[in-house]
Amino acid sequence: MKKILALTMIRSDYDLMSPLYQLLHEDENIDLRLLVGGAHLSETFGYTVSQIEKDGFTMLNRIESLLDSNSKSSRIKSFSILLQNSIDSIAYFDPDLIIYAGDREDVMLGAMVGGYLEIPTAHFFGGDHVNDGHIDNLIRHAASKLSSTHFVTLQQHKERLVAMGESAERIFVTGNISLDKFVDFVPLEIDNIKKYFHIKTGFDNFAIMIFHPTLQDSAKPEEIFEDILKTLKNRNINTFVSYPNVDPGNFEIRRVIEKYAQDKNFIFYKNLERNIFLSLYKHSSFIVGNSSSGVCEAASIPIPALNVGTRQTGRYAEENVIFVDSCITEIEKGIDKVANKDFQSKIKTMKNPYGDGNSAHKAYEIIKKTDFKKFLLKTEDPLEIKNG
């Protein structure tokens, strides 16, 4: 039996990977365990471990690691707690493969512990690149260099990893696993959505907003967040608004949410069941904010996506994605464009380049058939790969 350990510390990476987790979980020849920590165990951020429990996955351990703080140092302190308290659990389980996704601290946990304990690793969503200067971009690339193998979304991402000195045989192009959940999903009717949220009037048409704090923009994140809310309100666009992630600046954004909590134009949420969120997504007119979901997932419906500020800039994006500066006038122009019916009609037949909805099965078959031990030792000279 192949033992696999998956790391998940926040709602976003869990949603990305859950279609693959389900396939691995259902395979009687695979023992899948999840190491769960970070924001999943925080009431402040929706206690999303409850979704993992509902999905029925076996958890190796729960690590309470997240400091409920708003400082720059809190994130790396939280990582140090996570690292220190995970090593023994991982060593005791002694998996055949450790898998992790994205660009947050837990990918460094998986890559470092796998390397030192001589356990093969698989990094998902590597090879992507963002021009915003945020630490996540550097973490993604660093984790790729420390990882045994890579499951990437685009051929471009594979080429970037090869340029970084990774041999092509270590890299598997599977597409974006998160897109699989859109295939064959039948959304709830809008009336049922309104009943779920106890909505009495409005919200027959609505947008989705997902905005996370970043300190790289010229304006403060809470100011950008409120400017988006003001623009949506002035245009009477009903919007479902997600709470921010755990990055520095989230306290200030949550204070803005408290300010608008009773505004009839908005419904704010910390965490939603998957069928509710997907139903919102499929019925929404557009998505606004700075989440990777707008760049990677919105085209699967398809709906327009307005990305505000520097976050996500430089990522490959299709014609449904509009990038605007974080000043209020650009936000207003951007929302007017994505809310325009002609623009929405223009993209209705587009295909999502990030995946065809079968990515989890592709990754599952590779994991099932591959002997990852042969990838454990990295002896390749990056100069030889570059010149070869």
pLDDT digits (tens, 9 = 90+) for 1-24: 999 999 999 988 999 999 999 999
pLDDT digits (tens, 9 = 90+) for 124-154: 999 999 888 888 899 999 999 999 999 999 9
pLDDT digits (tens, 9 = 90+) for 230-272: 999 999 999 999 999 888 889 999 999 999 999 999 999 998 9
Q: Where are the domains of the chain?
A: 2-181+357-387, 184-346
Q: Which fold has domain 184-346?
A: Rossmann fold (3.40.50)
**SS3 assignment, position 45:** helix
- Candidates 1.20.120.530, 3.40.50.2000, 2.130.10.10, 3.40.50.720; CATH matching 2-181+357-387: 3.40.50.2000
Same fold, 2-181+357-387 and 184-346: yes
Q: Is 384 left (phi over 0), alpha (psi -120 to 50) or beta?
A: alpha
pLDDT at 387: 59
**Predicted structure pTM score:** 0.90
pLDDT digits (tens, 9 = 90+) for 279-308: 999 999 999 999 999 999 999 999 999 999
> What is the DSSP track for 144-165?
HHH-SEEEESSHHHHHHHHHTT
Angle at 250 between CA 203 and CA 308, to 5 degrees: 60
